[in-house]
Chain A
Amino acid sequence: MLRAPIPEAGRQYAVLTVAAVLIVREFGVFKFPIPQNARLVPQFVTRIPFWGAVQFGAEMGTGMRTYSPTGLPHIVVAAIVLWASWGEAIAAGTGFALGRALMLLIFLAARNKEGADAAFEKGMPRLRPVFATLLAPLIVMLVLLW
């Protein structure tokens, strides 16, 4: 429905514009807030048997109730809404789940948990330009090639 009134070239232009602005933001050129819930998952969910864990996992896993240190997921959301097919959206969802799980797997495998924790806390912000550089060619390919 969202796509219906927008011609293909307009959607292409919109995705590339959103991507360009947010990728440049990752390099610290622009500073502006991005839409996010910016709330912590409340502690009481841990006291709810079974569904507490489900709620916690869903809210943390999707990033819908957390603070977002990056605008890169917003680029992917814009690209999915304006460009992806249903199958491609499912592929992106799978990739997102893998990306969220990757952090936990690394943390579980780490011998030095405190060191791993510190690396995620202090190292990740410094890698924002790296992630932006990795995402940029993929978005260009997705929107211009296929």
Chain B
Amino acid sequence: MEKTSSRFGALVPGLAVLGVFETASLALSAKGYDVAGFTWLVAALVAAFSLSGSV
């Protein structure tokens, strides 16, 4: 049976980057900052990285 670490291990850095950006966007927004531009950037970042398995 394939180990979870070998299946997802290489993806962890990408998921970490997405997590940091998303958390920053949500946290800054919750504090009342206008981070619309940054949030557009993060939304497109998530969408683009989700394409990573494509050929």
List residues of chain A with CB under 8 Å of any chain B CB: 40, 63, 66-70, 72-73, 75-76, 79-80, 84, 87-89, 91-100, 102-103, 106-107, 109-110, 112, 115-116, 118-128, 130-131, 134-135, 137-139, 141-142, 145-146
Contact = CB atoms under 8 A, between A and B. Distances in A.
Chain A contact surface mostly: helix
Interface of B: 2, 6-11, 13-15, 17-18, 22, 25-26, 29, 34, 36-55
Nearest to B44: A95
Given A103-B14, A127-B11, A96 B44 contact: yes
Nearest to B54: A66
Contacts of A95: 40-45, 48
